[in-house]
Each structure stands twice: as C-alpha cells, then as structure tokens.
Structure 1
Amino acid sequence: MTAMCYVGAIRRRRATRGETACVAKICERWSARVGGRLGRVRASLEAEDGSAAARAVAREVGKCEAEATALARRFAHEAIEATEAFETREAADDATTSEARGDGDGDGDGDGVNGIPEKWRMACGNVNGYLEYAGATLTFEEWARVREAFDAVVTEVDGDDASARYVRDDGNWNAMKAMMDDSVVRPRRLSQVENNARYANAKAELDEAKKAWKEANEIYKDARRRIKQARHEVHKTRKAVRIEYR
C-alpha cells in the first residue's frame, strides 16, 4: 500500500493494472510469505518463558525481517520505475503525457473533493486498485495501520499540518477510507422489506428442496427394492439350473 500511495502522491499519477499486479506479487512474496514467517519465528523466540539465547536469536531474526521488508519496498520501487520508463518510451512524443501524469500546471496540490488534494485522492485510488486486485478486506486493526502509514507519508510529503488536516481529522479520513474501499460506507443492514423478501425466498427454496429430497428418497427406496427382488430372482434361477443339470 505504501508503494501505491507513493505512485499517487509522489509520481502524481494513477497506477496501471500491470503495475498493481507486479507490486501485489512482490508484497505477497516478500512481505506476506517471507516477512510473515520471519515474524512468527521471532514472536515464538520472544516468548516470556524463552531463554536469553532464544531472545538473542529473536533479535537477529528481527533484523532479517526488517531486511525483507526493505527488500520488498526496493523491488516495488524498481517495478514502478520500470513501468514509468516503459510508458515514457511509448509516449515520448505525446503532448498529453504530462497532463495525464500531473506534471504540468495542475500539480495536484489544490483542494479536490471534500478538501482533499488530488494527489492524495490518486493515492487512495491506487490503494483501492490494489485492494480490489488482491481481493482483500481490511480489519479494524489493519485500517489503523493504514492510517498510521498515511500519516507518516503525508507528514513526510506535505508536513505535519497537512497530516493533521487530512489524516488525523476523522471526517477527512473517513472520506479517504471511502475512496480506498467503498464497502466502509455501504449500509450494513438491509431494510426490513428487503429482509422479509429474502426470508420468504429462502423459505420457499427450502420447501422446494425438501419436496425434491422426499421424491428422490422415494425413487431411491423403490430402486433398492427392485434390485433386491431382481437379485433374489437371479439367485433362485441359478439354483434351479444347478439342481436340474447336476
């Protein structure tokens, strides 16, 4: 997500689909698999009943975990630069390239919708694309970490006052969250009429399923009776043939 925020806030552009896929694969490999496993190992070694030697190993594992995180960020940055280099070669003579990327007069620092600058709106849009590609639904704790990350990035780019105005303000942050994931603003409960309709449809479906099950069960029982009768007739016939020609 930091990489997607970087593309919108620093590069002043929307992340492409291929770029999002590349960054997602890098994060899944280095942050989730490698970093996640190292984090679990470190947490296990840092147990309260662990020895001093185990805690010393945990510190070394923590360093490896930090290096894996830094490596993931470096690979993501290289992927972003490679995408930009390719797009620059493809659109070297295109006069609209600077406008599409926000390199012209409209630098994205002006207030956009809800008073949020365009560059931070692009950053939120890039995060939305990443979440849609990864199929991720953030928990309350994960949203808290995302807010901390945005707080740090906005403070680094625009200063502490901008971060206090856009990220630490609950109203503006909720607007930014809605840009990143519109499910946070969807109604959580359906209306009573819709709930009643869903209940009626589900009950009708259950009644039909019970009826079909009853019919299928009767067919199954009838087939079992026919099989038993046929086997009995075959057995009697074979016995009579053996006795007659013995």
Structure 2
Amino acid sequence: MKQGILYCVATPIGNLADMTERGKRILSEVDKVYAEDTRVTRGLLTHYGIQNTLASLHDHNEADRVASIRAELDQGMQLALVSDAGTPLISDPGYKLVHALGESGHTVVPIPGASALIAALSVAGLPTDRFVFEGFLPAKSVSRRKLLEGVREEPRTLVFYESSHRIADMLADVVATLGEERRVVILRELTKLFESIYRGSAGDLLQQMATDTNMSRGEFVVVIAGNVVTEDQEQLSALRADSILAVLLEELPVKQAAAIAARLTGLPKNQLYKQALAMG
C-alpha cells in the first residue's frame, strides 16, 4: 500500500504569481485538499486550473478532524493542508493536526512558499539574525499592553501580525509601553496592489497614521526593533544591581534577594545570584 502523506502547502499572501510550481503540482495530485475556507481555496485552485476534492479544516473543527484524517493516511491517501493565505500553522490552523500526526508517526511534508513573516523581515531593514514572532496581539488594550511590557527588554527583533481595525490602537500601545523612540516598520498589504512600507519611530508613525487614512487599511506585519543596551547602560545596570543587592541582602536570603533584584533591573536572575554570592 502506498504510504499516506500530508503535505503542508504554502499559498500566496496576495500576488497569485507567488505560488510555487511544486505547490501547484501537489495540489493537483493529492487525493484531497483540506482548507481553512473551502471557498477561498476553490477560487485559488480555479485560478491555476486545478480541480480537486476540498474539505474544511479550521479552528472550530480541527480537533474533530484528526481521527478521520489519520484514518485516511492509514489507507494510503495523499492529502494537502492549506490556509487562506501563506504557510499553514503560522498564525493559522493546523497545529493540532500536525502535532497529532507527528506523535502517531505519520509523514508530514512541507511545501514551502509565501510567508508574510519572512517577506516582512526580508525588507524591514532591522536585524534578522535573531527575531521573535508573536503573531497577533490580544484584542483588548489591557492584555495587549501586558504582553508588550513583557517584551520591552527583549533584544531580538519583534514581529507581529495585525488587522486594520486594531493597527492604530496597537501602535498607541507600542508608544505607551516600548517608548515613542522605538524603531518600527509597518508593512501593509504585502505583495498586493497597495503594498506599502512605513519606517520610523513609533511616535512619528502614530502621528502619521492619524492624518493618513490609507495607513490603517488592509493587513499588516509590524516589525519592531529589539531593545538595544549600550555599554554605558550595561555598566549603569551593573552598578544599580550592586546597590539593590546590597540593600536586599541585609534582610533577605541570597536566592530571594537575587530574584527581586532581577525583577527590578531586568538582568538575569542567575547572574545576580552569582553576584550576590560574591558580595558575601
């Protein structure tokens, strides 16, 4: 019996010419295509002259689909998984399925292609050797600010997805939590007709958005510079940590003093623990 395979196929994020030849071949050859929205995928397949069987797999039915898809693979079926746009599982459905299939020893094959995350990083002009992808931020400002405050000291480049009806509020929260001088690149409608890239400080871009209504239309990737600590700032943090530890050690055990100092300074707890031990 032929081995069952699930192919995770990337689809265009806007420009339909970005579909790979391998991706088109797989979508035409498999026995069935599982799609986030069958209407969207039907239009995509029609554009490429592909006819195939479609079935839905989205956030609300994914868990229920796992057993039947596993059974189809056990029968030797070749299946494809696509999202509405971009690479499956990247802020899109598919994690539960792929995780379950991996645990049960089934073969899952990536068919790479378009990804808004990678496309944005390739042109943002911010460091890409190390980055953190956070997907969509919470819808409510309180939760959004809490998450942003949690990455305020993160030195790696930050990448987020955002929608048109929240982009202005998200940028306002970036200003409030990360500071108006933090470098931000907003990438709008990547690969589409009205693709635009806006670069500047968070404060300047927020002001620009208030007067330019086009800036808040479409789909967005927001790339934010990581927190860069200069040598002078590092020395200042070390001196501050010494002072804080000296006071805390008068009243607390070393481990507890180091933990509190880490929260106050943002420095690693292990580093401060060793520092406290050295202070005797």
Give TM-score scaled by structure 2 length. 0.24
Q: Larger helix proportion, structure 1 or 2?
A: 1
Q: Larger strand proportion, structure 1 or 2?
A: 2
Structure possessing the higher relative contact order (Cα contacts under 8 Å, 6 or more residues apart) = 1
